[in-house]
Structure 1
Amino acid sequence: MVRTGVRGVGQLLVTAGLVVLLFVVYEVWVTDLFSDRKQTELSQELREDWTEDPTVPTLPDGGISEVPLGQGFAFIRIPAFGEDYVKVVLEGTDEEELVEGPGHYVDSAMPGEQGNFALAGHRVGKGSPFLDLDQLQPGDPIVIETADTWFTYRVVGPDDPNGIPSQQIVLPSDVSVIAPTPNGPLDGPSSGAYLTLTTCHPKFSARERLIVHAVLDGEPVSKTDAPDGPPALTEG
């Protein structure tokens, strides 16, 4: 009887272990495949939209006006992650957007605007767009491509005039990181043109958030003048 009980417990543990393993495989690898496939579709759709309608409505400073939730509207490139790192940015940060790619916090600034252009992305699974966010260093470029403009941001350094850190780890409830001036009040003024990337921390956990801040470097570059991208894409 005891042997039978022990054998039964052992079988249950093995079964539970297999279930956990299958769940991890699905969450990490299978969802990555689905997201990568969706990114390919989104990229093709966005390029086609830009070709058919190059007069995408933009704000005076180059930012894009209202974008429907779930729609791709820009590309993000991070050279430090490899020359082939290109992701479509979608409007919105609900799970239905984040399973497809990095999402834009709807109440934050748009590319090139004064304020804080804030994005969220999964770290593990669902394409893992921000898997290596902790590897970014001060000065690393982050390039945003819109229909007609390139915007180059650089991870802030210790000399940021507003004292914004290059990286920080916060609780999920700390929304001040996406304020117009990072770490300021949500209804406060903007003191620069920032880009903030947010993701879960540590890997395989949603206990905290890893934050990276960057600041707009120089003037926006017209794609007419630089069809292949700004110098930041090929430096170093």
Structure 2
Amino acid sequence: MLGELLLTVGVLALGYAGWQVWLADAVMGGQQQQAAQAFASELGPTAAAAPEAQLRTDEPPVETSAADRESFAVMYIPRLGEFERTVGEGTSRAVLDSLEQGLAHYSESALPGELGNFAVAGHRNGQGGPFTHLDEMRIGDRVYVQTSEAWYVYEFRNHEYVAPTGVGVVAAVPQQPQTPADGRYLTLTTCNPEWSAEGRLIAYATMVGWQPAADGMPAALAETLGRL
């Protein structure tokens, strides 16, 4: 009888702890979302672009490098729901754990739209858990990156699971560190499995186009977010 009682108490305690962590993530994630929306308005127009506006495939603008810990972009991932997060420079805990940011740019990687690999890290769980559902991305899903210069559009292509030492994922050409950059890539990294730092879950995407910041939010994204 005592053993059953202790087991029940243990299960309830674990459940309560899990609920607290989930609630904390939900609250902090909401704060990060609000901060991203505010920062997005500082970057430029967020109203929908004209429906006939087409993504450009010519040479995108040259982005200016941000200072360490400085916010410089907002990322939107419709597959992950109402997902807007600010990207800060550098992968320090100050950026990853921030209520104002939550996504961290690998400083040695390319900038948005730049030839090479724009690599970004985020927590899987805890501190807002922006990438909790990164494993749910599907081929063709779009990722939008807003800067003061432009909107960059990437399409998801595949996942990969690597060890924490698998730094080749952030190379200019992912997993081909000796190959010169030959395209524009986006790499998202987070922990795997959930609640563990045992491995890393990687999501790869390639750039399919861009449009000037002055044009406003890409119409397809605005439609998804209900902002037309």
Superposition TM-score, scaled by structure 1 size: 0.75
| Pair 38,49 (structure 1): closer, same or farther in 2 beyond 3 Å | same
**Of 30, 33, 51, which residue of structure 2 is paired with 1:36?**
30
1:102 partner SS: strand
Cα distance in 2 for residues equivalent to 1:80 and 1:233: 14
Mapping of 1:79-158 within 5 angstroms? 79-82=78-81, 84-100=82-98, 101-156=102-157
Amino acid at match of 1:40: Q
Note if contact 1:42-1:72 (Cα within 8 Å) is conserved in structure 2: no
Distance 1:222 1:211, change over 3 A: same
Q: Is the 8 A contact 2:35 2:86 kept in 1?
A: no
Distance apart, 1:74 and its partner CA? 1.0
Verify the 8 A CA contact 2:40 2:146 in the aligned structure 1: no
Structure 2 letter corresponding to 1:201: N
Q: Displacement, 1:39?
A: 4.1
Instruction: Indicate conservation of the 8 Å contact 2:32/2:85, yes or no.
Output: no
What runs of 5+ residues in structure 2 fail to find an aligned partner? 46-58
Residues 1:189 and 2:187 aligned together: no
Whether the 8 Å contact between 2:74 and 2:145 is mirrored in structure 1 is yes
Return the offset for 1:64. Answer: 2.3
Which structure has the bigger radius of gyration?
Answer: 1
Match of 1:70 in 2: 69
Distance 1:63 1:21, change over 3 A: farther
Contact 1:35 1:99 in 2 (8 A): no
Tell me: higher relative CO, structure 1 or 2? Use CA pairs within 8 A at least 6 residues apart. Answer: 2
**Aligned partners of 1:121 and 1:130 also within 8 Å:** yes
- Cross-structure match for 1:223: 213
Q: 1:171 to 1:50 in 2, by over 3 A?
A: same
- TM-score relative to the length of structure 2: 0.77
Q: Which runs of 5+ in 1 are unaligned?
A: 1-6, 52-59, 157-165
8 A Cα contact 1:32 1:126, kept in partner: no
Identical-pair percentage: 32
